[in-house]
Amino acid sequence: LGSSYMSTVAQPSASKRNPQRVPNLIGGSFVDSKSSSFIDVINPATQEVVSKLPLTTNEEFKAAVSAAKKAFPSWRNTPITTRQRVMLKLQELIRRDMDKLALSVTTEQGKTLKDAQGDVFRGLEVVEHACGMATLQMGEYVSNVAHGIDTYSIREPLGVCAGICPFNFPAMIPLWMFPIAVTCGNTYVLKPSEKDPGASIMLAELALEAGLPEGVLNIVHGTHDIVNAICDDDDIKAISFVGSNVAGMHIYSRAAAKGKRVQSNMGAKNHAIVLPDANVDATLNALVAAGFGAAGQRCMALSTVIFVGGSKPWETKLVERAKALKVNAGTEHDTDLGPVISKQAKERIHRLVQSGVDSGARLLLDGRNIVEEIFGPVLLVMEAESLDDAINIVNQNKYGNGASIFTTSGVAARKFQTEIEAGQVGINVPIPVPLPFFSFTGNKASFAGDLNFYGKAGVNFYTQIKTITQQWKDSAAGGGKVNLAMPT
Ligand code: NAD
Residue 453 CA: nearest ligand 1 atom is: 40
- Determine the residue of 22, 61, 168, 303 to mutate for testing ligand 1's pocket, defined as the one with the most ligand atoms within 8 A of the Cβ atom: 168
Q: What is the pLDDT of residue 374?
A: 33
Output the residue whose Cα is nearest ligand 1's atom 28.
Answer: 243
How does residue 476 score in pLDDT terms, banded at 50, 70 and 90?
confident
How many whole angstroms from 260 Cα to the centroid of ligand 1? 19
Output the residue whose Cα is nearest ligand 1's atom 23.
Answer: 243
> For the residues of 66-106, what is the DSSP string, one character each?
HHHHHHHHHHHTS-HHHHHHHHHHHHHHHHHTHHHHHHHHH
| Residue 204 beta carbon below 6 angstroms from any ligand 1 atom | no
pLDDT, tens digit (0-9, with 9 covering 90-100), for 437-474: 999 999 999 999 999 999 999 999 999 999 999 999 88
The strand pairing partners of 448, in sequence order, are 264
Region of residue 99 (left: phi > 0; alpha: psi -120 to 50; beta: else): alpha
Output the residue whose Cα is nearest ligand 1's atom 12.
Answer: 223
How many whole angstroms from 9 Cα to the centroid of ligand 1? 23
- As a whole number, mean pLDDT of residues 19-37 equals 97
- Please, are residues 306 and 274 in contact by the beta-carbon 8 Å criterion? yes
Residue 478 pLDDT > 80, yes or no? no
How many whole angstroms from 126 Cα to the centroid of ligand 1? 21
The strand pairing partners of 227, in sequence order, are none
pLDDT, tens digit (0-9, with 9 covering 90-100), for 16-25: 567 999 999 9
- H helical segments located in 273-405: 280-292, 312-323, 343-358, 387-396
Output the residue whose Cα is nearest ligand 1's atom 43.
Answer: 299
**Percent of the chain at pLDDT above 70?**
95
Residue 421 pLDDT > 60, yes or no? yes
Q: What is the pLDDT of residue 11?
A: 55
pLDDT, tens digit (0-9, with 9 covering 90-100), for 291-335: 999 999 999 999 999 999 999 999 999 999 999 999 999 999 999
What does the angle CA 24 – CA 25 – CA 30 come to, to the nearest 5 degrees?
85
ipTM entry: 0.98
How many whole angstroms from 247 Cα to the centroid of ligand 1? 6
CB atoms within 10 A of CB 293: 23
| Residue 446 beta carbon below 6 angstroms from any ligand 1 atom | yes
Between 368 and 227, residue with greater pLDDT: 227
Q: What is the pLDDT of residue 8?
A: 60
- As a whole number, mean pLDDT of residues 350-355 equals 92
| Residue 368 beta carbon below 6 angstroms from any ligand 1 atom | no
How many whole angstroms from 168 Cα to the centroid of ligand 1? 9
pLDDT, tens digit (0-9, with 9 covering 90-100), for 153-179: 999 999 999 999 999 999 999 999 999
How many whole angstroms from 240 Cα to the centroid of ligand 1? 12
Instruction: Kindly report the average pLDDT of the chain as a whole number.
Output: 94
How does residue 9 score in pLDDT terms, banded at 50, 70 and 90?
low
| Residue 172 beta carbon below 6 angstroms from any ligand 1 atom | no
How far is Cα 478 from Cα 475, in angstroms, rounded to an integer? 6
| Residue 246 beta carbon below 6 angstroms from any ligand 1 atom | yes
- Determine the residue of 244, 265, 440 to mutate for testing ligand 1's pocket, defined as the one with the most ligand atoms within 8 A of the Cβ atom: 244
Choose among 142, 123, 299, 276: nearest CA to 199: 123
How far is Cα 434 from Cα 442, in angstroms, rounded to an integer? 11
Task: Please say if 299 is a catalytic residue.
Answer: yes
Say which of 131, 161, 184, 299 is annotated catalytic: 299
Residue 223 CA: nearest ligand 1 atom is: 11
- As a whole number, mean pLDDT of residues 138-152 equals 96
Q: Out of 370-374, 405-409, 473-477, pick the least confident.
A: 370-374
- As a whole number, mean pLDDT of residues 197-225 equals 98
Q: Out of 104-113, 143-152, 195-204, 471-480, pick the least confident.
A: 471-480
